[in-house]
Copies of this chain bind each other. A is one copy, B any other.
Amino acid sequence: MNKTKLTLKDVAQQLGVSTATISNAFNRPDQLSKGKREEILAQCERIGYSGPNKAAQILRKGTSNIVALVLADSIAYMVSDPVASTFIKGVSTTLQQQGKHLLLYAGDSNSILDVVDFVDGFICYGAPRNYKLAQEIAAQSKPAITVDFDIDDVPSINIDNENAAYEVAKAAIDENDIVAILGLRLIDSPTTCRIYDSPLIDVNSSISHRRLDGYVRAAKELGIEINNEWIWHLPESDRSYARQAAKEVLMSSPRPNTVLCMSDIIALELLHSALAMGIDVPNELKITGFDGIEEADRARPHLTTVCQSSVAKGEAAAKALLAGEERKQILPFDLKLGETILS
């Protein structure tokens, strides 16, 4: 009923004890006789004091229980990507269990300056579109962890992308195949295109380049050289980019009969386009994906892909951050053979 909210000081006065005692009643039970503590808590309940002000605690304690999840791209894009949103799922579950709060932070922002002072730590998911941001995070002194990319001296969560790509490619490619690759963020271009001789950008998304290496190694073992002409760049794992790339691949001549896709979304879009054109998968066209999203399971024929658990990544990242782990973790992946390749 009071006009202004009760403060700890008010309460102390009303109960005739020091502010320290009230504070301790809430934060450090061991500093107080059990009886007094219960009495104080009961009185607080009665007069409507719900505990120390969190804003003041943040300043004084220097901790807020807020963890910033820095996404690779805008929040809007990330939240609709099945892989990213599954990752968020893992993070949020773990944070909630530990009483932490989740602040979503866009990876295309200029700076972390506006949150770094009150946030308890950073989880960086995927190389931020604005890579300067990642370096800023690495440079500041709060705990941080990266996922799906790496920065020197910052703990991280990754899978072995090179070997994963190698394995799925090895399973798919047969001798004398024409192999194409639908890649993600390989060069610095906002549109879908073949990479030809554009310089590869390694800084922005090393996982794509690891995967590329794996694909190329597998092909090479079968004596197949993948020309840059057969490598597409997509700026995002987005259906419309994928549709365009799919069209280009399927229209090109000679038409590739094995297409290695760096995400399931891309692979599924290619699969649909191919089926719509009456192309026989896998006999005329073999397709592999990457990620192992739910939708890949629902597709017919089942997509051959590399399963990685985004939930596990999210959980691992949150746990490692909160536990102050320093090491770089490599999580397992799982090759899933579907009917989009020949068995």
Are A103's CB and B102's CB within 8 A?
Answer: yes
With both beta carbons as reference points, the residue of chain B lying nearest to A106 in the complex is identified as B96
Question: In the complex, which of the residues B74, B90, B106, B118 contacts A58, with contact meaning CB atoms closer than 8 Å?
Answer: B118
A28-36, A49-57, A194-202: which lies at the interface: A49-57
A151: interface (CB < 8 Å): no
A114: interface (CB < 8 Å): yes
Q: How far is the CA of A118 from the CA of B64 in the complex (A)?
A: 10
Q: A74-B93, A76-B93, A89-B79 are in contact. Are A104 and B102 (CB under 8 A)?
A: yes
With both beta carbons as reference points, the residue of chain B lying nearest to A104 in the complex is identified as B102
Which residues does chain B contribute within 8 Å of A79, judged by CB atoms?
79, 85, 88-89, 92
A334: interface (CB < 8 Å): no
A319: interface (CB < 8 Å): no
Question: How extensive is the interface on chain A, given as a class?
Answer: 35 or more
A65: interface (CB < 8 Å): yes
Question: In the complex, which of the residues B80, B92, B105 contacts A85, with contact meaning CB atoms closer than 8 Å?
Answer: B80
A75: interface (CB < 8 Å): yes
Q: How far is the CA of A319 from the CA of B58 in the complex (A)?
A: 28
Give per-residue flags for A64-75: 1 if the beta carbon is below 8 A from chain B beta carbons, else 0. Answer: 111000000011
Which residues does chain B contribute within 8 Å of A82, judged by CB atoms?
80
**Taking the nearest CB of chain B, how far is it from the CB of A46, in angstroms?**
17
Are B117's CB and A53's CB within 8 A?
Answer: yes
Give per-residue flags for A124-166: 1 if the beta carbon is below 8 A from chain B beta carbons, else 0. Answer: 0000000000000000000000000000000000000000000
Query: What number of copies of this chain does the assembly contain?
Result: 2
A62: interface (CB < 8 Å): yes
A330: interface (CB < 8 Å): no
**Taking the nearest CB of chain B, how far is it from the CB of A194, in angstroms?**
27
Q: A101-B105, A102-B103, A118-B58 are in contact. Are A75 and B89 (CB under 8 A)?
A: yes
Give per-residue flags for A173-216: 1 if the beta carbon is below 8 A from chain B beta carbons, else 0. Answer: 00000000000000000000000000000000000000000000
**Taking the nearest CB of chain B, how far is it from the CB of A264, in angstroms?**
15
A331: interface (CB < 8 Å): no
Q: How far is the CA of A92 from the CA of B102 in the complex (A)?
A: 14
Which residues does chain B contribute within 8 Å of A117, judged by CB atoms?
53-56
**Taking the nearest CB of chain B, how far is it from the CB of A55, in angstroms?**
4
**Taking the nearest CB of chain B, how far is it from the CB of A66, in angstroms?**
7
A222: interface (CB < 8 Å): no
With both beta carbons as reference points, the residue of chain B lying nearest to A88 in the complex is identified as B79
Are A92's CB and B114's CB within 8 A?
Answer: no
A340: interface (CB < 8 Å): no
Are A76's CB and B58's CB within 8 A?
Answer: no
Across chains A and B, which 4 residue pairs bring their CB atoms closest together, nearest first?
A: A54-B117, A75-B92, A76-B89, A55-B118
- 19 inter-chain pairs at a CB distance below 8 angstroms, sorted by A residue, are A53-B117, A54-B114, A54-B117, A55-B59, A55-B118, A58-B118, A66-B103, A75-B89, A75-B92, A75-B96, A76-B93, A80-B82, A80-B86, A92-B104, A101-B104, A101-B105, A101-B115, A102-B104, A103-B103
Given contacts A66-B103, A80-B85, A96-B109, list 18 more A-B pairs with CB under 8 A: A55-B118, A64-B118, A65-B114, A74-B92, A74-B93, A75-B89, A75-B96, A79-B79, A79-B89, A79-B92, A80-B82, A80-B89, A92-B106, A101-B114, A102-B104, A103-B103, A103-B104, A104-B104
